Structure 1
């Protein structure tokens, strides 16, 4: 019976450690998200051409149905910064048409004029190809993957409510974790040093 009790206590201890590690990792992720979101929000207000990037990957929201059914409005596209020289026909690329306007379309033809690369693009849902050729300098990157409806999450995070919740939630988790550890330490100290109620 004592061995079973010890084994049970050991299992409980392992579970508690796993929960603690998991909550610490979740808090770290939330803090990173908060800092990134705040920085991106601040930077994009001052510079409309700024696109947040994590290790060369840039998340963006799909606003139109020009790439339907491949990409739908509200999806999130993750674009990887790529050397334009390795792009191929059928690659989906995001390119800049102005400081604040980006388009994600498929390459249908690649041309080389005066030692400069140009791409002819077309939206999958469009009947006609895009009117202007895209220069290699306009290319932001190639589509790495997409997250259905993920764009709504990005837009929510960028909203004032999203930013507030992303700031309040990590702080709340941190405070609750710290308070629990303080009370746990107090309980352990009481068990280790029980007060002698007997008067001598």
Structure 2
């Protein structure tokens, strides 16, 4: 009876674990699909309209290339630009926008003004307080987003990764990781097969065979009697 209870309890626990594993598996699967769909849409949108990705997709990262925003932002900093309401901007905000040369620039918002057509716009300036304001006037359609954070020097790493040498390094590392994972999985599979091949009791525990040591006893040798003279 005790053995049957142990077996029943073990089966119930296994069933519960399997159900939990299935539920978490489906959650992970759905989350992966959603993330993958978002990344694909983000990638496509970034190809079609790279300068407006932050506005319509919520955020985008940029690499600082010049020293015009030092000491706040320095070259090779990776900055996060997020979507923001154009009308809520105020003086001193760090903003990203598209300049007349179709480059994305990150500068301080300096003041509100209007252009020659009477459209609401703002002017910008670099970090140096003694420097003059930029000549361009940024309208709503040229506004990209507002600065929300940075990772120092990450931009330099990304630029290296994007180079031919960086791409080769990524491929080599990826192949190495794949081979290591494959070898580990193979070893675990062989180990599991060996364990399953061993005899088990009703609860699933492996029964270790008892080694019997047979002591060999020396055979008695008959003493040879020497003949008497």
RMSD: 3.2
Match of 1:137 among 128, 135, 141: 141
Structure 2 residue aligned with 1:192: 196
Report the counterpart of residue 146 of structure 1 in structure 2. Answer: 150
Q: After superposition, what is the alpha-carbon deviation per residue over 1:52-90, rounded to whole angstroms, capped at 9, x for unaligned?
A: 769522111111111111111121111112231222211
TM-score where L is the length of structure 2 = 0.58
Q: Distance in 1 between matches of 2:171 and 2:83?
A: 29
| Cα gap change, 1:131 to 1:148, in 2 (>3 Å) | same
1:128 to 125, 128, 132: 132
Residues 1:117 and 2:120 aligned together:
yes
Change (3 A) 1:131 1:99: closer
Relative to structure 2, which stretch is displaced further, 137-146 or 77-86? 77-86
Q: Which residue of structure 2 aligns with residue 94 of structure 1?
A: 96
Q: Which has the higher contact order (CA 8 A, sep 6+)?
A: 1
Structure 1 outlier segments of 4+, above 4 Å:
51-55, 112-115
Note the alpha carbon deviations across 1:84-138, whole angstroms, 9 max, x for none. 1222211111111256522110001113566733111000126111012111211
Give the TM-score taking structure 1 as reference length: 0.65
- Name 2:65's counterpart in structure 1: 63
Q: What 5-or-longer segments of structure 1 have no aligned partner?
A: 1-27, 196-200
Q: Residue 71 of structure 1 aligns to a residue in which SS?
A: coil
Q: From the CA coordinates, give the structure whose radius of gyration is larger.
A: 2
Spell out the pairing of 1:20-39 with structure 2 (5 A cutoff): none
Which residue of 2 is the match for residue 14 of structure 1?
none
Measured in 2, the distance between the counterparts of 1:144 and 1:58 equals: 10
